[in-house]
Structures are given as structure tokens and as C-alpha cells.
A and B are shown apart, each in its own frame.
Chain A
């Protein structure tokens, strides 16, 4: 049973794409397999680990929980679009600075979630960060340094805004 193909237009990390995709293709599959943006990871099959988190029109979403066709006409930003070796996003800097990653598998999703969390709040404390990251699993760090990093990243993002 061949899935119906659909035409979609979307901007990913500032680049426009016009693509034909199967109707049942997940957004994460489009990103990883079609566009080879492999920084977005897949850690589960029940939408519960957050490793696949990207920004869709500026909001953090789990890209395994959306079909690619649902991103038609949208802006998608992945970890690769947030900052690269030549210019890191303050949240990326904070993760490195605080040793908030070990194996790195959860890291892109954590960073994408954390940026969104900070952008949509006015001042997170430790408890708010812990609750805000509830949808993102990390098996390595015990979250201790991730929490530190998000608070430090928040400060840096606010300083950047000033």
C-alpha cells in the first residue's frame, strides 16, 4: 500500500524546501533522512524522550509527534540552525560550560527545549526549569548540570537581549 505523496513547502534553518513527501512521513524522518539533519535524534517510539525536539514557527515541538505535512508552510529550526562552531547560541555555550552533556544524545533536544522555555518565560528558577524539562529524558547527567546550564543560558540570553 503506497502512501499518498504530498507536496509541501517549508523553511528549515532559513533554507526553503519544496518537497514531495509520503503523507505518513514524520517530521523527524524528513529532517533526518531527507534533509540529512541528523542532529535531531530519535530516542523513543512513544513521543516521550524529547530527543527529537525542534522549533516549529518558534515553538518547541517533538518532531516525532508530527507528520511532515503538518509542517507545510512553516519555519522549522533544528539544532544545526541554532548555532555552529563559528557562532554558538548562548544556550549551547552554557551546556558546554556547565558540562551539561555526556553522551550528547539528548543534548540537541534539551537545548531546543531549553531555548523555548527561556523565551516563553520571564525568569525561570530551578524548579521551573525542572518542570519545564519534564518531557526530555537524559540518562547520563542526572540533570544536575543541565539545570545549571539552562539557568546560566537564561542569563546569557537575557544579557544578549539587553
Chain B
């Protein structure tokens, strides 16, 4: 029996064989003859002037090849690391993007910021050298606490209030009026806790320069090698684009943190040319904690107004977003266009106004991490809705139903810029309630109470905008690049197919899913389709993988390229069958006309051996396409969490988690399910365990796995997942994207469940057992 491999089949992943046998090739697994090793000099202070950097003792160590600092990179004319999204403040002015040299030159602005590097024959020698570098620092008072940034001294010269932008979206006057006239207003004030992404593979780079050809090759942990090449050539100006090859080999997870163009791979590439040797750098985990971008970190006040019938009339949101010390690659887009635009949620809220102040602090840069702005938005909306239901004594499910955008409302224009394409929110909610046995909850709660425990249930009906992004819209909103995707489908002379995609897989399984798509389009065996990605030397161009965009945008490009292949093949087949192309039908890998038939493999052979061939047609059967999406896609769903709290210890057990998601059409349900699981784990991590904490001196308090609490196997239950489907109506596959849903839906569901169990109005994330215990004491009247 042959396994089904077409669209919709749970095909086992072809990439797995190398990973389960230890044959994967991650960046640190690679080596180059003659390679040297880099160790970075990092600031021990959150804010300080950098004085003299004395490398003489280090250079005296046998095997230390070089000590470089920001002075050297700037003397060589290396450009700044840019932020690729220009946000405008509400007064029309451009955001203030502070200069961000790859290596700090005169001032360091967060603990762990690189200001130099030592290159040595071995890693041990480079480390020893780095320890011997003497650097003069003049400490300055840091701005480490988000709440105090506006009143503190400017981190960057002349930047009053440390304000990068003051952005707004929506109709303020109408929203104010709606809230003033509301029968009930629910207001909450909370933080969205700072997270540290922690892909399990630390960032790494293996950089080479060939002085004869002038070519640079950078192997690195990137989610978007072409974007990395573009930035390194156009902005940092290391070398011209055609002399720069960026390869992202197997990459051990990204979740956003490997989108960005970082100092380390930039400096390593530059240094490889300087010392004339390949240079290898791999982060230690403690370096990852300090210098990978962090995520979330908002302070928000939000108010939801309802009329006497429980209909939402207005939503007002005021957020201060921590950007860290510099604007990372997409930092400005995350708390604005990926956040404010999602505040309509699944609801017909007629008036929404959001204001976001993006603020610099002396902490690691903050940028996109799984969900990127959308988890923060879903948290605002779903915490408010649940709280409003409790205040009004309504069933939270019922209040949501009353306000859902209805199936007949699509396309639905929200008051915050987006036009939702398709959806059926009621269907998702109903299925989730059924899977969670919502009606049975009171009995389960009673049973828990008999055992001396508290039980709670919480809903979250999230929405996300994925499939980033229609280029013109994105560019009009400030994006520095288009967000289309490229693909190439090359039918080889023997009929096998090589597929090139600009998307990048770092766990998502594109080598399998994309092969399913193309094998389905061309009607060729799955095993005859090979997918190539992650190498600017092999793939023409690409924007990479983030924002749940690979299939919706990259997959669509492959459909378009396949269609071009089929169209060209039709002309060849018509010629071979002595008819006209419009008499030829293509299905299941064969062209047919009357009772004649030519397989696509026969046609491919004819295309490369054009003996009997249309006169005006080029040989070959290989086609490229760029797909620019017409709209975002809008995955949505309902997540339900159920928790049990030990009243003695405050320990919270997540006893059940249900996720029902609408991702449109599904190519590989097994992979989709896996993506949902991983997202949920990260969302639960945010709600219950994870928090990146800086003290007032700007020192990261939990920079290791000993004290930053990543979810472990025994922190989580197995999950109950299911799907509903309203296909996307504007991309050829009907797909919406599935990578981020779990991280977006879960936090509010969990906190709604915990507050339900504890009987409190609000509680801060992460809800540790200590916080829960304190809340319980408060409830019991024994003080907090």
C-alpha cells in the first residue's frame, strides 16, 4: 500500500531521517579548513561610556590573532544595523531610530551589548584573550524600568522622554464618545511580560572571505538568508550583494529570534576578511539570553464599553511598548501594525482607538517572537471580554457569541484598518466548548472543591493576521521591503522536479509540505520532488519565514510557478499530439487530447531534447514566480484552558487545554497539529512560567535555564486540538497559516482560567504559584 502524499495527507516528514540519526547539519556542526574562532567582548553595564580598549595583553597570548572594537568597524565604514519598518508618530513625524552600530563605539546601552571581538586559533585561546582585554567604562545611570523611561535621561542623545514614536490608530473622538455613552465599561491595566525566545539551537555563524574572488560566504542561523544578505550589503555595506552568499543550513528553531540581522554574524563576516581566515562563532546560552532579541514587554490600560444588551460599543487602548536599547530589524512594526490592527478581535466593535508609545530602555532590543504583537492584542481583547462577562454576570461564551462577526459579514472591515476575508467564529467556539465539555465544568469544579482545590475555566477567541504581507500596503505603512515570496519549479529532463523557495524551514517541515503542494499541482510522485531553501546561492530571492507566511505566500508562489510550467508543457504536448493547446487538458500529471496522452515527464524530456518542438518556444521546463498576497490571511479560533489550583501552595496545574483553530485549507494535518502544540506550549509558558527580568541596574536577573523557566515536559498536559475550516479566498491554496496560533490564543485562555479559579479580577503573568498563593491569601482576607 502506498501512503497518500497529496494535499491533506499526513505525510511523514522527509527531513526527519537526518534529525533522528544525528545527521542534521546545524551551523555549529560545520567547519572550514583553517578556521579561527571569535569571542565577543560584551558590556557588563546597562549604560556606560566606552573608554580605551586595551587589547595588548590579549594579543600577547599565543594564538590570539586579533582584537577588534567598534572603533575598527566604524573606521572601516561599516554601516549601522537598520530597522526595516518606518513608523510615523500621530503628529506625522518619523519615528526616531537611534544609530545602532554593529559593535558599540562610544557608548554601550545594554548588558551584553557587543563592543568588540577577539579572534583566536582555538575557542579556548579566544576566550582567554577576551578575559585579558582591559576596557575603561564610565558608568551612566541606566533606564532599566519601562515605567520610568519617560522621565529618565535620554539614552540616545537628544531623545526626550526616550520616545521612539507615539503612534495611534482608529477614531479617538468616536471611541471616547462611545465609551462615555456606554452602559458598562470594563477597564484593566496590566503588563504583557517580557519573554526571551530561546530557540534551542544558539545563534551561530561561520564566516568566510575569498580574497581572490572577493566573495563572502556566511553560514548562519537565519530565518531569512536573502534578507540578511540584503541588509549586509545595502546597509552595513560589507560587500556587494552578488559577492555575498548567505546560507542558513539546518536551523534549530527560530520563533522570530533568528529573523534579525545581528551584530555577531555581521562582525564575524567583516573580521573574516580582516584576518584572512574563516571565523566561527557560536553563542553560549548565557550570551543568547543577553543578546538575542527579547519580546512583548508592554504596559497597557484598556477599556471596553458595552451597551445595555451587552454589545461592544468601543475599545480604548493605551500601551507603552519597550523597544530595548536599539530598534531591531522589525521592532517598530510589532507593537504597532501587528498589534493595534488586531484589536477588533473576532468582534463587531464599531469604535476602536489605540495609542502606542514605543520607548527605549537600557535592555536588550525587543522584536518579533512567535505571534509578534498579535498575542499582546489577543490578550488585551480576551482578558477584557472575559472580565466584562464576569462583571455583568453573563456566560463568557454567550457574551462572545453576541458580539461575533457573523459569517455573512465577510469581507469585514474593522475600525482598525484590516479587512477580514473569511471566518466562522461561532463554529470554532461551539466545537471548542464541546471538546472542553463546558457544560460539565460546574461538576468538575465541585469535585475539585471537595478535594480542597480551586478550579477555573477560561476562554480565548483569538484572531491573527498572517501571510505577511501585501507589499504595497506594507510599504505604504512603512515597510522597507516588499513581502511577496519567490518560488521556482524546475522540471528536470528526466521528469523529476527541483523546487526552490524563498521561504526557510527551521522546524516547520517545508521540505515535506512544499513537496506535497508541487507534487499535487504537477501530478508527479511526491518522492520525485525535492525542495531547496535557505541558500542565496541556490535560491533566487526570498523574504524568509515568519508571521505564519511560508505556505500562504511561499506556497502560493510555487502554485503560480507550477501553473506556468503546466502552461508551457501544454504547448509542447499540443505540438507532440499535433493539436492546438486549447484542445489539451492537463490532469494527474498527463496532457490529454482525444485519446492521445503525453505525461509531464515525456513533455519535460521533449523540452530538453527539442527534436520535435514548437518553433517559437524556448527549450527547457523551469518557471519562476513571485507571489504578492492580496490581503493578509486571518486564522482564528477558540482556545479553552482549565486549571486546578492547590490552595495550600498556589501550585497551578493546567489540567486541560483545548484548541480549535481555523487555518483554512490544510496541506499536512500532522505538521499543523505539531505547530499548534508548540505554540500552545510557548503561550502557556508566557502565562505561567516565563519572564525576563531586569533589575534597576539593568542586569538581567534570569539569564540561564536555572532561573528562566522554560516549560518542561512535566509542566504541560497533552492538548486536545481540532480544526474548523473556512478557506482563505484570495490565495490559490486557500491556506491561512498555523505557526503562531497557540502562542496567540493560549495566554489569555490560561489567565482567564486562573482568575476564574482564584476568584480575582486580574493577576499578573507569569502566574507563578507564589503569585497565585498571594492572591489566595488576599481572597481569604489575610493580606497580600
Contact: A103 with B253, CB < 8 Å?
yes
| Contact status A83-B21, CB under 8 Å | yes
Q: Which of B18, B22, B24, B255 counts the most A-chain CB atoms under 10 A from its CB? A: B22
Contact residues, A110-141 vs B (CB, 8 A): 111, 126-127, 129-131, 133-134, 136-141
**Which of A45, A139, A148 is the one whose CB lies under 8 Å from B284?**
A45
Give every chain A residue within 8 A of B508 (Cβ-Cβ).
102
Closest to A96 in B: B16
Q: Which residues of B contact A37 (CB under 8 A)?
A: 22
Instruction: For chain A, residues 1 to 55, give those with C-beta under 8 angstroms from any C-beta of chain B.
Output: 1, 3, 32, 37-46, 48-49, 51
Residue A92, interface by CB 8 Å: yes
Instruction: Categorize the interface residue count of chain B.
Output: 35 or more
Contact of A99 among B28, B673, B682, B710 (CB under 8 A): B673
Instruction: Give the docked Cα–Cα distance between A41 and B198 (Å).
Output: 15
- A129: nearest chain-B partner, CB-CB: B713
Min CB gap A135→B, angstroms: 8
Chain B hits for A136, CB < 8 A: 713
Distance in angstroms between the alpha carbons of A32 and B29 in the assembled complex: 8
- The answer to whether B26 touches A99, judged by C-beta atoms less than 8 angstroms apart, is no
Say whether, besides A79-B22, A144-B718, A106 and B13 are in contact (CB < 8 Å): no
Task: Chain B residues near A133: list those with CB within 8 A.
Answer: 712-714
A73 within 8 A of B: no
Return the contact of B286 from the options A45, A88, A96, A131 (Cβ within 8 A).
Answer: A45
**In this assembly, does A68 line the interface, its C-beta being within 8 Å of a C-beta of chain B?**
no
* Contact status B28-A143, CB under 8 Å: no
Give the chain A neighbours of B25 by CB distance below 8 A. 38
B252/A104 in contact, CB under 8 A: yes
Contacts of B507 in A (CB 8 A): 102-104, 140
A60 at the A/B interface (Cβ < 8 Å)?
A: no
**Does B704 have its Cβ within 8 Å of any Cβ on chain A?**
yes
Let me know if A152 is at the binding interface, CB within 8 A: no
Q: Mark B196-237, 1 if CB is under 8 A from A, else 0.
A: 001111100000000000000000000000000000000000
**B275 in contact (CB, < 8 A):** no
Chain B 670-705 residues near chain A, CB threshold 8 A? 670-671, 673-675, 677-682, 704-705
The answer to whether the Cβ of B742 comes within 8 Å of any Cβ in the partner chain is: yes
Partner of A105 from B23, B253, B670, B706 at Cβ < 8 Å? B253
Q: Which residues of A contact B704 (CB under 8 A)?
A: 44-46, 48
Mask, B117-138, CB within 8 Å of A = 1, is: 0000000100010000000000
- Chain A neighbourhood of B679, CB < 8 A: 142
Contact A145 B674 (CB under 8 A): yes
Interchain CB contact (< 8 A) of A103 among B251, B677, B706: B251
Does residue B716 face the partner (Cβ distance < 8 Å to A)? yes
| Contact A139 B674, CB 8 Å, known A85-B17, A88-B20, A105-B253 | no
Judge whether B761 is part of the interface by a CB distance below 8 angstroms.
no
**Min CB gap B547→A, angstroms:** 17
Question: What is the bound-complex CA distance between A118 and B124, given in angstroms?
Answer: 38
The contact of A97 among B12, B201, B678, B719, by CB within 8 Å, is: B12
Residue on A nearest B670 in the bound complex, by CB: A99
Note all chain B residues with C-beta closer than 8 A to A3.
124
Of all chain A residues, the one with the shortest Cβ separation from B24 is: A104
Residues in B whose Cβ lies below 8 Å from that of A103: 199-201, 250-253, 506-507
Closest Cβ of chain A: how far from B624's Cβ, in Å?
28
Set B23, B29, B201, B712: member contacting A134, Cβ < 8 A = B712
Residue A61 at the chain B interface, CB threshold 8 Å? no
Asked whether B201 lies within 8 Å of A43 as measured between CB atoms, the reply is yes
Q: Which of A39, A106, A142 lies in contact with B742, CB distance below 8 A? A: A142
**Which of the residues A96, A105, A127 comes within 8 Å of B20, measured between beta carbons?**
A96
Please, which residues of chain A bring their CB within 8 A of the CB of B21? 39, 79-80, 83-85, 88, 92
Interface centre among B19, B250, B677 (most CB of A within 10 A): B19
Contact between B199 and A139 (Cβ–Cβ < 8 Å)? yes
Say whether B437 faces chain A, with CB atoms less than 8 Å apart: no
A145 and B716 CA atoms in complex are apart in Å by 12
Q: CA A49 – CA B675 in complex, angstroms?
A: 21
Q: Is the CB of B22 within 8 A of A46?
A: no
Contact at A78–B677, with CB atoms within 8 Å?
Answer: no
Tell me which residues across on chain A come within 8 A of B156, comparing CB atoms. none
- Are the CB atoms of A142 and B252 closer together than 8 Å? no
Q: Is the beta-carbon distance between B284 and A78 smaller than 8 angstroms? A: no
Residue B100 lies at the interface, judged by CB distance under 8 Å to chain A: no
Minimum CB distance partner of A91 in chain B: B20
Q: Quick one: which of B12, B704, B713 has the most chain A CB within 10 A?
A: B713
In the complex, chain A residues whose CB is within 8 Å of the CB of B730: none
B285 at the interface (CB under 8 A from A): yes
| A130-B713 in contact given A99-B674, A139-B198, A142-B677 (Cβ < 8 Å) | yes
Given contacts A88-B20, A92-B20, A102-B507, contact A141 B285 (CB under 8 A): no
A102 in contact with B509 (CB, 8 Å): yes
Cβ-defined contact, B677 with A107, below 8 A: no
A145 vs B680: C-alpha distance in the bound complex, in angstroms? 13
B618 located at the interface, meaning its Cβ lies under 8 Å from any Cβ of chain A in the complex: no
B395: interface (CB < 8 Å): no
Chain B proximity of A46: nearest CB distance (Å): 5
Q: How far, in angstroms, from A148 to B719 measured CA to CA in the complex?
A: 12
Complex formed: what's the CA distance from A38 to B31 in Å?
11
Report chain B residues within 8 Å CB of A104: 15-16, 18-20, 24, 250, 252, 507
Q: Looking at the assembled complex, report how far the CB atom of A35 sits from the nearest CB atom of chain B, in whole angstroms.
A: 12
Residue of A nearest to B288 (CB): A44
Give CA–CA (A89, B218) in the complex, Å: 35
Residues of B within 8 A of A (CB): 12-13, 15-26, 28-29, 124, 128, 198-202, 250-253, 255, 282, 284-286, 506-509, 670-671, 673-675, 677-682, 704-706, 710-714, 716, 718-719, 742
- 6 extra A-B contacts, CB within 8 A, seeds A42-B202, A80-B23, A142-B680: A45-B704, A99-B670, A134-B714, A140-B507, A143-B712, A144-B677
8 contacts between A and B (CB under 8 A): A46-B705, A103-B250, A104-B15, A104-B250, A139-B198, A140-B674, A142-B677, A147-B718
| A contact residues vs B (CB 8 Å cutoff) | 1, 3, 32, 37-46, 48-49, 51, 78-80, 83-85, 88, 92, 95-97, 99, 101-108, 111, 126-127, 129-131, 133-134, 136-148
Q: Give 4 nearest A-B pairs by CB, closest first.
A: A39-B22, A104-B19, A105-B252, A142-B681
